[in-house]
Structure 1
Amino acid sequence: MRTVLSVLGRRLASRWWVIGVPYAWLLFFFLVPFLIVIKISLSGVAIAIPPYVPTIDLAQGWASIRDAISQFSFDNYVWLTEGWASIRDAISQFSFDNYVWLTEDDLYWKSYLSSVIIAGVSTIITLAIGYPLAYGMARAKPEWRPTLVMLVILPFWTSFLIRVYAWIGILKNEGLLNQLLLWLGVINEPLIILNTNWAVYIGIVYSYLPFMVLPLYATLEKLDLSLLEAAEDLGCPPWKAFWKITLPLSLPGVLAGCFLVFIPAVGEFVIPDILGGSDTLMIGKTLWVEFFRNRDWPVSSAVAVILLLILVIPIVLFQNQQQKMQERDK
């Protein structure tokens, strides 16, 4: 009996570790910082350190509570109310003025809209380039596949910032791209690509292409080729077999790749700041300006909260829809 209980205890402990560690990670490194950002977004800007008010002095509040508890006297419960009162007074000063300001100034909603459009178009272009690349990798000889995967992830061995800066030398008026097009006779004068939205598209597609290729390759590489052989035996043309078999079975990889590209591209800051122009509006760039140049932490925190909601809510709704479809299929 003791052996059975010990085995069950070890299984429960291992299951707790497997489930508890990821949730603890999310709690301390996502939920707690997000709550801090929400608190700042409900505050007002101030010339102080930190540059916002109100600030909740949790240490003072909990100190009063600990002092009261340590005395074990009902008379000292007055200190409990005073400790919580200091926290309530700070919370009562919070306001939604920063969120109202985001709706009144068209800079912010234009930045959100522009970010979604740029990220969406970049994701479509990345998918159009990445799918044939991943398909070719999955159909290559088995001994060549590790080398091809290594070539896809090879850019990650170099700093992201250096790779983005390298595109300046390629896209500027005297850069390699214009020099090549002039030498081939395709153009008569240099094209203005740098400091435009075109440069931002190029930078995002180049930087996030591996995030599209790798999940697509993982899905296509596991595809059962006997299904394609059966379709061919039944007289199905190759292009029709692709649309009827390969593409539907690769949709999980397509969705994973699109999420991996679209989500970070919406909040991208480095690429539009280095390759884009002054008229390039993206919410990551606007957030950086509010936080570091204007020192307006409350507004920038409100921008970050809205951005997170824009990204998280559609993903949660999509996952719930997928779960309902799976349950319905069962």
Structure 2
Amino acid sequence: MMGPVLAACLLIILSTAWISQANGATCKKDGGVCTCNDQTKNVDCSSKGLTAIPSNIPTDTDRLDLQSNKLSSLPRTAFHNLNKLTFLSLESNQLQTLPEGVFDQLVNLSKLYLQDNELKSLPSGIFDKLTKLTDLTLSQNKLQSLPHGVFDKLTNLNKLWLQNNQLKRVPEGAFNFLEKLTRLQLYGNPWDCSCNDILYLSKWIREKEGKVNGIESATCVNKKAVLEITEEEAAEDCVYPNTTTAIPTTIITTLASSNDDDIPELPVPQENFQKFLGYQEPDHLPTQPQCLMSISGYLGLMMFFVLISAAILYVIHFLKKA
């Protein structure tokens, strides 16, 4: 009677293994590209040349390291179901944008590293759900501005790194809610001290001098310290251009009053035509590790059927002998 029991057990084991394989593998032990530690709940996917975040990261992961890859964008659902994460590193990638809500489920996150990317702007409310965040690193990017209230919900923030960006100013009240802040790096930005909207930052630095480390190093484009700027020096009411280009009213009026025959035919770039039709490039192409995982999935499926056939033949043979 042991023969059929062993065969049934073999079938169950094979089915479980195939289901795991078919769902995709993240950890090396399952055929994936990342190193996973079951005891510490750490998942290390650093320096793998990834262009997309691996699927099926364990939901109980505490630390996720994705640094030094080739990520240029993140889908909005990239970190869904990872609400136990306390550490996330995305540094040294090629991120150009962040979608709204990408971090919203990381409600236990305390450390977020985004330095050394290509971010030019941040969506409004991008950090609003990260109320337990203590360390936020945005240095070595291309940030040209910060949204109003972008740090308002980060009342537990202890360290903030903004150095080596393209910031000319910060919004009024940008740091007012950061009562626990002990370190803020601002150097390496072209602070525009001729405009009166620099006065908030200048006053805030003077008030926090000696309480928040690193802030004194912020200097204007003329090398003068931001904290030394006076109202007389920053007298201009500057208006910075928008990132979008508006069509002048005169052109619209002219086109509206013209006959169709008078309107010149303008060439439409192919990329604009594609956008008009709703065409979008895919978020990413499959990476080499993902292709390998797909191949291994097919091989696993073939092996599964071969072993099942062998088990069935063994059961039939045993029953005939019985």
Q: When you count helix as a share of all residues, which structure comes out higher?
A: 1
TM-score between both structures, scaled by the size of structure 1: 0.16
Q: When you count strand as a share of all residues, which structure comes out higher?
A: 2
TM-score between both structures, scaled by the size of structure 2: 0.17
Structure with more relative contact order (C-alpha pairs < 8 Å, separation 6 or more): 1
